[in-house]
Amino acid sequence: MKLILAAGMSLAFAMSAGAQELPKTMIWSSYDVGSAGYAEASAIADAFGKEFGTRVRIQPSGSSIGRLQPLLQGRADYAFLATEAFFLSEGAYDFATPEWGPQPLRTIAGRPASTAMAAAADSGIETVADAKGKRIAFVAGNPSINVKCEAILAFGGLTLDDVEVVTFPTYAAAMSSMTRNESDATCTSPTTSQFYELAESPRGIYYPPLEADNAEGWAQLEKVLPIMSPQSETVAAGLPEGETAQMAAYRYPVIATTPDKSADDVYAFIKALDESYDLYKEGTATMERWSLDQAGKPPIDVPFHEGAIRYLKEKGIWTAEDDAWNEKRIARQDALIAAWEPFVAENAGLAEEEFAAAWMARRAEIVAGLE
């Protein structure tokens, strides 16, 4: 009897251990070659190969749809994404079409990345509220950049109607527009190359602070984009060594998968991400932020996968507050998905732009009803 029991326990242990092993091969989608997302995915893939013998093939794409389709169609195991993860879960912007709409995603982890309003130092913008009436640079067809600026303006009690939005055809043109005195402020990573040029120009650079203790400001920001949190940043164009600027953090890259990915598979993935950290943490200047005490905490673009939560709880990282955040985020995603099919049926005859505008209005109503 004891032998049978012992054998059963050994078999159960072996099955559990086997279920938590990494597969021999995996496919990940990511941003295009040359991007930070691709560099970080490559560094982690290399670490997985060295530590666990897992071969990873990365499929790079320059478009959000190109990164998401392999994941949603089952041709990729994981995707290294940016804000398109949030947009897809909400059916927003590029995904506010009858062919897309809100769809469920789950995250494993996401590295904090700073974003800020950068203003020309001679613009008179010392607080976000001071941006009222000023020229704010936006990028045509880039909702990921623009919506972060809209959220930061909300921190200062402003909407797009309170500023002069100047839209530029490319990211580079928008980011360099302050140096050319074609705008007064914009929002993006504080280490973008054009900001170093601005800092050295006669106009100079300044970061209006997003104070962590400004509860009202953060509440207003989160109504626009509930994926950011306070960030104290020490690395930014024009920021003197040893000084800190109060900015916002979002997640890039976000490692995402689908809800039906097995909990054991995701558990094995995040465990490997954690255990190989020392091999990739110096892969880029910011990869040390993949430590799970930073990358494994909300807020983030989409809810955490149950397999990731299991590991984070074992590590003592996941809290009751994190559970509450995750349940609220799942409820929001589910409510939008439930509303989508009847909305499409009722608005099938609308032109593309009208359809998108109608859905974004309906989405805002649903989200407001959840608060």
pLDDT by residue (tens digit) across 308-350? 999 999 999 999 999 999 999 999 999 999 999 999 999 999 9
Q: Give yes or no for residue 111 having a pLDDT over 60.
A: yes
Q: State yes or no: cis peptide before 299, omega within 30 of 0.
A: yes
285 burial class (0-12, 13-18, 19+ CB within 10 angstroms)?
exposed
Mean pLDDT of 164-170: 96
> Which residue matches tokens 């279920």?
19
Contact by Cβ (8 Å): 290, 110? no
Phi/psi at 304 (5° precision): -75, 145
Mind spelling out the 3-state secondary structure of 193-228?
A: HHHHHHHHCCCCEECCCCCCCCHHHHHHHHHHCCCC
The tokens for 258 are 């689908």
Token look-up 């400001």 returns 217
**Single pTM value for the model:** 0.88
More confident site: 319 or 9: 319
pLDDT beyond 80 at 4: no
pLDDT score recorded for residue 15: 36
CA distance linking residue 67 with residue 72, whole number of Å: 9
Q: For position 20, what pLDDT does the model report? A: 60
pLDDT at 13: 36
| Per-residue burial over 256-274, b = 16 or more CB atoms within 10 Å of its CB, e = otherwise | bbbeebebbbbbbbbbbbb
> Between 320-346 and 352-370, two packed helices, what is the crossing angle to 10 degrees?
140
Cα(310)–Cα(191) distance, integer angstroms: 35
Structure tokens at 198: 């601005």
